[in-house]
Structure 1
Amino acid sequence: MLPSVAVLFSFSLVVAVLTVTPGLDTALVLRSAAVTGPRRAFGVIAGIQAGTLLWGLLAAVGVSALLLASAQVYETVRLVGAAYLVWVGGRMLWSAFRGSGDIATDAAPAAVDDSFIRGWSQGALTNVLNPKMGAFYVALLPQFIPESAPHVSWGLALAGVHVLLGTVWLTLLVLVARRFTQWLQRRRVARTIDGVAGTAIIGFGVGLALEGGSR
């Protein structure tokens, strides 16, 4: 037995708000689309959605609830995730300051790392190392999954709705960004994008690291 259309629709309304709210996923995808290329951007999207499906499955079987219940495990995941975000953002800032790396020149585009696999790994790691995703699903799924329902199939079905909405929204962002490829890959513009995205991602990482004090 799978969730009814009414349940899927209700769940989609809730996650749609999360999906379109600018955040870490938006920053990563837009930066990849603007500076590196479409393959890496779509790789980031695929990685993010793979992480979403994993969190949905873990929440459905109760693993993420156990993770949240264990302060030590939660703190480890939180700090590793925060460190990873600061590292990713720091690399972008370093690229912006040096004007090198993935950034193109005004005269001619540079060879950029437009790798789907590297994009996938970045998107997946960013999502999986974010314990807030686990907390979100642990809090949300019980409101939509009856106790008598098969939790794994329902959890995957609901997470699938989130994946579908996220894929559509982030793909639209990539397509919009690619309409302005030549302008976005100018050195000054690309350095600005790296600086803004890097600062935002470091901010997410620092916020995740400081979260422990209020938990």
Structure 2
Amino acid sequence: MTIASLAAFAGLCLVLALTPGPDTFLVLRIALNRPGAGIAAAAGSAGASIVWAALVGIGLAAILEQSAEVFRWLKIAGGLYLLYLGISSFLKTRKAANEALRSSGEETPLRCNRLAGFGAGALSTLLNPKVGLFYLAIVPQFIPHGGDTMGAALILGSVVSVIAFAYLSAVAVVAFKAMRWLRRPRVSTAVERVSSGILAALGVGVIASGASS
């Protein structure tokens, strides 16, 4: 795994982190009442993402050991999944903007201490299968021929974890302002469209790379 590819992956993770999701709004709701608990929830979510990375790494190592051809098709399937994420996210942009316009009430804060916040963040990520699917789509693209599958998965998982924790912690610190900002239709629409386009482009590139290898 080269520095350039790792930097590209980090950029992708940053774009995805800026796209509001379940973990973002969970941290927001907790931090509205107690910012420290919101940061703890961010830490729980970040830690759980490494667990997902390890689980996916174990599975990919087993697949690669059995069949390189199956692993190649898995890479192509991963590209298709990324393409699907990009297209589906783009199609949902207008619907999300309309819902934001209709929504007039604020999110109800969740009353948690730091330990409960950590548990809530970890559980939210562990029970989200999309996190596992993301790793399953991404990790194979960054494993060189004969490379360490488990090591690559953990490195990528650590990058995701650090970026997610940094972003979610920042959200927790400025929870109330962040909630207002994320609900602005123009902001949410712009973020969704940019991230959708990047995902779709990455998916096309992965499919082409897998098909030609």
Greater Cα offset, 162-171 or 32-41: 32-41
Question: Is the CA contact (8 Å cut-off) linking 1:44 and 1:121 kept in structure 2?
Answer: no
Equivalent in 178, 196, 206 of residue 198 of structure 1: 196
Give the alignment's TM-score, normalised by structure 2. 0.61
Residue 22 (structure 2) pairs with residue 28 (structure 1) = no
Aligned-pair CA distance for 1:74: 2.5
The residue number in structure 2 matching 1:79 is: 76
Aligned-pair CA distance for 1:116: 2.7
Within a 5 Å distance, the mapping from 1:1-12 to structure 2 comes to none
Name the SS of the counterpart of 2:161 in structure 1: helix
Closer, same or farther: CA 19–176 of 1 in aligned 2, 3 Å: farther
Closer, same or farther: CA 137–19 of 1 in aligned 2, 3 Å: farther
Equivalent in 83, 88, 94 of residue 85 of structure 2: 88
Provide the rounded CA distance (Å) in 2 between the counterparts of 1:164 and 1:131. Answer: 12
Aligned-pair CA distance for 1:29: 2.5
Q: For 2:62, give the aligned amino acid.
A: V
Aligned-residue CA RMSD in angstroms? 4.3
Q: Deviations over 1:89-120 (max 9, x none)?
A: 1121012244458x522862688xxx936972
Closer, same or farther: CA 128–35 of 1 in aligned 2, 3 Å: closer
Closer, same or farther: CA 183–91 of 1 in aligned 2, 3 Å: same
Give the alignment's TM-score, normalised by structure 1. 0.61
Question: Is the CA contact (8 Å cut-off) linking 1:77 and 1:131 kept in structure 2?
Answer: no
Closer, same or farther: CA 20–205 of 1 in aligned 2, 3 Å: closer
Q: For 1:95, give the aligned amino acid.
A: K
Aligned-pair CA distance for 1:204: 1.5
Within a 5 Å distance, the mapping from 1:84-163 to structure 2 comes to 84-100=81-97, 104-105=100-101, 108=104, 116=124, 120-130=128-138, 132=140, 135-136=143-144, 138-140=146-148, 163=157
Aligned-pair CA distance for 1:52: 2.0
The residue number in structure 2 matching 1:186 is: 184
Identity of aligned residues (%): 15
Closer, same or farther: CA 93–160 of 1 in aligned 2, 3 Å: closer
Question: Is the CA contact (8 Å cut-off) linking 1:77 and 1:130 kept in structure 2?
Answer: no
The residue number in structure 1 matching 2:55 is: 54
The residue number in structure 2 matching 1:8 is: none
Provide the rounded CA distance (Å) in 1 between the counterparts of 2:100 and 2:189. Answer: 9
* Structure 1 residue ranges without an equivalent (≥5): 1-13, 142-154
How many residues were matched structurally?
182
Aligned-pair CA distance for 1:198: 0.9
Equivalent in 201, 206, 209 of residue 208 of structure 1: 206
Aligned-pair CA distance for 1:63: 2.6
Closer, same or farther: CA 30–175 of 1 in aligned 2, 3 Å: same
* Structure 2 residue ranges without an equivalent (≥5): 29-40, 108-122
